[in-house]
C-alpha cells in the first residue's frame, strides 16, 4: 500500500510539473505565431490591434478573428492559402507553425464574437 501511495504522489507531482511547464510553451507558441504573422503577413495586414493595414483590401488579423473561428482556418493553412488576388503570396507552413499562428490569432478574437 505504501508503494502505491508513493506512486500516486509521484504521478500527481509529475502532472503538476507538466501543467506548470505548459505556460512557457504556450507563451513561446504565441510569440512564434506573432513573429510568423509579422514576417509573412505584416506587409499587407495589420497583425495586432495597434497596427494599421498597409493594404486597404487586406483585413486586419483582428477582423479575421472576429469573422471566423480562427481554428477553422487550420486546413486552409495546411493546404496553402491561394486567393484570387495577386498581392497575397502562396506559402507553406508546418503543423507547428500553423498551430503557433492560429494560437496568436485566437488571442485577437473579440470576447463577444460568434464562433
Q: What is the CATH number of the domain that holds 65?
A: 1.10.760.10
Tell me the whole-structure pTM to 2 decimals: 0.69
Does residue 3 fall inside a structural domain? no
Give 61 or 10, the one with higher predicted confidence: 61
pLDDT tier, 100 (very low <50, low <70, confident <90, very high otherwise)? very high
Q: Is the residue at 67 inside a domain?
A: yes
CA atoms of 13 and 34, how far apart (whole Å)? 33
Integer Cα distance of 90 and 77 in angstroms: 10
In a domain, 17, yes or no: no
- Distinct helix (H) and strand (E) counts, the chain: 4, 0
Residue 51 in domain: yes
pLDDT tens figures, 58-72:
889 999 899 888 888
Q: What percent of the chain has pLDDT over 70?
A: 70
Query: Domain span at residue 54?
Result: 27-106
d(CA 111, CA 79): 29
Please, are residues 101 and 77 in contact by the beta-carbon 8 Å criterion?
Answer: yes
Cell 506559402 belongs to 91
Asked if residue 71 belongs to a domain, the reply is: yes
Residue 79 in domain: yes
Amino acid at each position: 500500500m505504501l508503494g502505491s501511495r508513493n506512486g500516486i504522489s509521484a504521478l500527481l507531482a509529475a502532472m503538476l510539473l507538466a501543467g506548470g511547464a505548459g505556460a512557457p510553451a504556450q507563451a513561446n507558441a504565441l510569440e512564434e505565431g506573432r513573429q510568423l504573422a509579422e514576417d509573412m503577413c505584416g506587409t499587407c495586414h495589420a497583425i495586432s490591434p495597434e497596427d494599421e493595414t498597409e493594404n486597404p483590401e487586406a483585413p486586419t488579423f483582428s477582423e479575421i478573428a472576429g469573422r471566423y473561428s480562427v481554428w477553422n482556418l487550420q486546413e486552409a493553412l495546411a493546404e496553402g492559402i491561394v486567393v484570387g488576388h495577386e498581392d497575397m503570396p502562396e506559402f507553406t507552413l508546418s503543423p507547428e507553425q500553423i498551430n503557433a499562428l492560429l494560437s496568436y490569432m485566437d488571442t485577437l478574437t473579440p470576447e463577444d464574437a460568434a464562433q
